[in-house]
Copies of this chain bind each other. A is one copy, B any other.
Amino acid sequence: MKRVRIALFGYGAVAKAFHQILASDRDRLRSIHGIDPSVVAIVRSSGAWIDPAGLAPGADVLARRKPGAAADLAASVACDLVVDLTPTNLATGGVGLEITRRALGRGIPVVTANKGPLVVAYRELTELARAKGVPFLFEGSVAGAIPTLNLHDRCLPGNRVTRVDGILNGTSNFILTRMAEEGLGFEPALDEARELGYAEADPSADVDGHDAAAKVVILANHVLGRNLHLGDVATTGIRSVSGAAMRLARERGYAIRLVASVGLDGPAEVAPKLVPRSSELNVNGTLNVVRYTTEHAGAFTLVGKGAGGRETATAVLSDVIQATSPRGAAGKAT
């Protein structure tokens, strides 16, 4: 049994769910994957709680806080793995960028669901991980629970992916779905999304396309080997989609969806588009979908839950298993 000491940076919905699942799935992680993970540090902007014996989920993580900047702790805390779930900052990379730099720099594997560091410094961080010979995995950063990156990396090596299309933002897809279903305008549908907790008070990242554009950058760089930044993605949000356009599309057998697209070259784009209602890209509600077009085997389309603390936590856990299990992701010794 391999003990895995995890330092957890950020303690929001995904981190709390991840911590819970580590506890609830302990037997499965031990018996199938041969690992015994424990959270030995929880680091938040307000302080850190460190216990080499392991911290239980649900405990009051402020009770025994210790001072210390998150980035400094990433450079010093005794652990086998850093999990970065700090808040996203697409402009600077935020504190997550410095945490990831410091951890990889000292040869500690990093698993992250934070788009910020990847959008700002994809090449730098992946090259640093390669130079140090440590895993750097970020499945949770794109489309929540859906294993978009791992589908490519681990399941399609016999194919070359030439194009990626997807619906990568559940909030805007929920709004578009409700506009079509109920004949609502954009603002009432946004209000409904807010009431249900699907949209933030400031919904700009979701409805103006920036969140989807960040995911396009990560997919383009990782799956297609490109070197894009956020400014390279032509991004249009859904604020100007009218109820009239919705009705017209529906009458003609189409849905309007915020489609993200990128190929091996040419422009990357996020924009509202007409999608045939029978298309696999036409998913409803908060679902996400990614479609890989390949050289030899046509398209593969994967649909699943693109958000949610518990759902995204499973993507983080998959990467933790991959990064640390002596048996690999498949849980087999051979």
Asked whether any CB of chain B lies closer than 8 Å to the CB of A80, the reply is: no
Kindly state the separation between the CA atoms of A321 and B311 in the bound complex, as whole angstroms: 30
Asked whether any CB of chain B lies closer than 8 Å to the CB of A329, the reply is: yes
Contacting residues, chain B, for A314 (C-beta < 8 A)? 156, 158-159, 294, 296-297
Question: Is A317 touching B280 in the complex (CB atoms < 8 A)?
Answer: no
- A307-334 Cβ-contact flags toward B at 8 Å (1 or 0): 0101101111111111001001111111
- In A187-209, which residues have CB < 8 Å from any B CB? none
Question: Is A303 touching B301 in the complex (CB atoms < 8 A)?
Answer: yes
Kindly state the separation between the CA atoms of A280 and B153 in the bound complex, as whole angstroms: 24
- A149-164 Cβ-contact flags toward B at 8 Å (1 or 0): 0110111111110000
Question: Is A21 touching B334 in the complex (CB atoms < 8 A)?
Answer: no
- A28-40 Cβ-contact flags toward B at 8 Å (1 or 0): 1000110000000
Determine how close the nearest CB of chain B comes to the CB of A160; give it in whole angstroms.
7
Kindly state the separation between the CA atoms of A173 and B198 in the bound complex, as whole angstroms: 36
Instruction: Count how many chain A residues have C-beta atoms less than 8 Å from C-beta atoms of the other chain.
Output: 59
Asked whether any CB of chain B lies closer than 8 Å to the CB of A299, the reply is: yes
State the copy count for this chain: 2
- In A210-262, which residues have CB < 8 Å from any B CB? none
Asked whether any CB of chain B lies closer than 8 Å to the CB of A134, the reply is: yes
Contacting residues, chain B, for A160 (C-beta < 8 A)? 25, 28
Interface centre among A147, A155, A329 (most CB of B within 10 A): A155
Known interface pairs A153-B330, A296-B313. Does A158 touch B318 (Cβ–Cβ under 8 Å)? Answer: yes
Contacting residues, chain B, for A299 (C-beta < 8 A)? 303-305
Contacting residues, chain B, for A146 (C-beta < 8 A)? 300
Asked whether any CB of chain B lies closer than 8 Å to the CB of A145, the reply is: yes
Question: Is A304 touching B311 in the complex (CB atoms < 8 A)?
Answer: no
Interface centre among A129, A157, A298, A321 (most CB of B within 10 A): A157
Contact of A153 among B145, B156, B329 (CB under 8 A): B329
Question: Is B21 touching A296 in the complex (CB atoms < 8 A)?
Answer: yes
Contacting residues, chain B, for A311 (C-beta < 8 A)? 296-298
User: Nearest chain-B residue to A284 (Cβ)?
Assistant: B278
Question: Is B318 touching A296 in the complex (CB atoms < 8 A)?
Answer: no
User: Nearest chain-B residue to A160 (Cβ)?
Assistant: B28
Determine how close the nearest CB of chain B comes to the CB of A37; give it in whole angstroms.
11
A-B contacts, 23 listed (Cβ < 8 Å):
A25-B160, A28-B160, A129-B334, A134-B334, A151-B151, A153-B330, A153-B331, A154-B155, A155-B155, A156-B314, A156-B318, A157-B322, A158-B313, A158-B314, A158-B319, A158-B321, A297-B304, A297-B310, A297-B315, A298-B305, A298-B311, A300-B302, A328-B328
Q: Which residues of A pack against B, CB within 8 Å? A: 21, 25, 28, 32-33, 129-130, 133-135, 145-147, 150-151, 153-160, 278, 280, 283-284, 294, 296-305, 308, 310-311, 313-322, 325, 328-334
